[in-house]
Amino acid sequence: MMKLSARNVLKGTVKKVTPGVVNTEVIVELPGGIQIVSIITKQSAEAMKITEGKEISAVIKASSVMLAIECEGC
Amino acid sequence: MMKLSARNVLKGTVKKVTPGVVNTEVIVELPGGIQIVSIITKQSAEAMKITEGKEISAVIKASSVMLAIECEGC
Amino acid sequence: MMKLSARNVLKGTVKKVTPGVVNTEVIVELPGGIQIVSIITKQSAEAMKITEGKEISAVIKASSVMLAIECEGC
Amino acid sequence: MMKLSARNVLKGTVKKVTPGVVNTEVIVELPGGIQIVSIITKQSAEAMKITEGKEISAVIKASSVMLAIECEGC
Amino acid sequence: MMKLSARNVLKGTVKKVTPGVVNTEVIVELPGGIQIVSIITKQSAEAMKITEGKEISAVIKASSVMLAIECEGC
Amino acid sequence: MMKLSARNVLKGTVKKVTPGVVNTEVIVELPGGIQIVSIITKQSAEAMKITEGKEISAVIKASSVMLAIECEGC
């Protein structure tokens, strides 16, 4: 097994794979139906053999998560 | 209203706020119970008046989402 | 209104839009003429209907801003 | 001289330096008065001898610049 | 085993660990003596039980690697 | 000379350049043979006149370096 320093490792399944010329867009569906969009290089997507339905984890550093809040007249 | 170029804008509520000296750690709970950890500057956390129970969105660029896959002997 | 945890939210206008296959390059001109180059996904650019002359904000996390300094024999 | 792959290299002067325990916050003022906030490690700030009034460049990758747009009912 | 979308996974050993209040600095030494500095959250460093001499990999996305080149009068 | 706030500035030579439509992939070989993959915009690669064999530095922020560790049953 491998342990990562990234604080968010979200298990899900591959919902959709859209290969571009250089990059590939992958939609990961988490349990409950929430979807996360990831863009990785096409070469990585192929090396990882990412296909729809496969189990996959979305890995996100805590410092890459910004926050947004609704406010009146802010 | 404001529209962001970031592809992931995940609505949730603030579950826990842990202020440090410079940074503040915020745990956002999404519907269904999935938790996302965010680290922002303490100054931003205070300016946004982030408190437990408040509605908040986690904003993540698609290119900040890496993927990880389990494989046998890879 | 929406408040973001990113420390830099710089208001300007869209100076130039260059769509690629996957990504779109957007040049934002700040008051005073300083230009900021942004690369976002083509899908985001289309969803945001980014066109020249439109008011827009460049959003940059403080930790994404590196610094460089000239020095003699450093 | 050194040439960087980062698309945004914005020349300015150091307006304010706020050292923390681990990180240092630096405010860079661009010509015309626009301010950019940067957070770097304290060790880098010390190695670069960053002091108020010094000439400095803010270096930002194009892919680190998100965009935000105001819209009605979006 | 786990396969990551990040293009750079550099195997080395932990050379030095410097815990701060929020973050921990880890120096990874690659074969041949090249050193890579990483800053992760203190909580991750503790969860991973990072100690000097341990085998570890530095994981870096290709898009996080900028390039710099020396040039005359550029 | 220029001093950067990024903690990792690794000198090497350009091993391979693969231009795409928008981005260019550059493989940098460090002394001892370790290779680092970088993806920058095609425009930057052309402005920097990156060609095989040229001396170049890979510039990586400490906070962009994640860590991964093998562990039994973790």
Q: What is the DSSP string of C4-70?
A: ES-SEEEEEEEEEEEE-SSEEEEEEEPTTS-EEEEEEEHHHHHHTT--TT-EEEEEE-GGG-EEEEE
Question: Which residue does chain A place closest to B25, by CA atoms?
Answer: A62
Query: Tens of pLDDT along F29-68?
Result: 999 999 999 999 989 999 999 999 999 999 999 999 999 9
Hey, what domains does chain B have and what are their CATH numbers?
A: 8-64 (2.40.50.100)
Write down the pLDDT at residue A65.
97
Average pLDDT over residues A43-58: 96
Subunits touching A (CB < 8 Å, at least 3 pairs)? Answer: B, C, E, F
pLDDT category at B74 given cuts 50, 70, 90 is low
d(CA E66, CA F39): 8
Write down the pLDDT at residue F73.
64
Q: How much is the ipTM here?
A: 0.91
A44:B54 CB<8 A: no
Query: Tens of pLDDT along A12-41?
Result: 999 999 988 778 999 999 999 999 999 999
> Does A73 or E44 have the greater pLDDT score?
E44
Percent of chain B with pLDDT over 70: 97
Tell me which residue in A1, A22, A61 faces F66 most closely, judged by beta carbons. Answer: A61
pLDDT at B56 over 80: yes
Query: Tens of pLDDT along C8-65?
Result: 999 999 999 998 777 899 999 999 999 999 999 989 999 999 999 999 999 999 999 9
Residues of C in contact with B59 (CB under 8 A): 4
pLDDT category at D71 given cuts 50, 70, 90 is confident
Which whole-number Å values give the CA distances from F45 to C68, E68, F20, F22, F34, in the listed order? 20, 10, 11, 10, 21
Query: Tens of pLDDT along E20-58?
Result: 777 899 999 999 999 999 999 989 999 999 999 999 999
Write down the pLDDT at residue D70.
87
Write down the pLDDT at residue F23.
85
Are the beta carbons of D61 and C64 closer than 8 angstroms?
yes
Write down the pLDDT at residue E74.
65
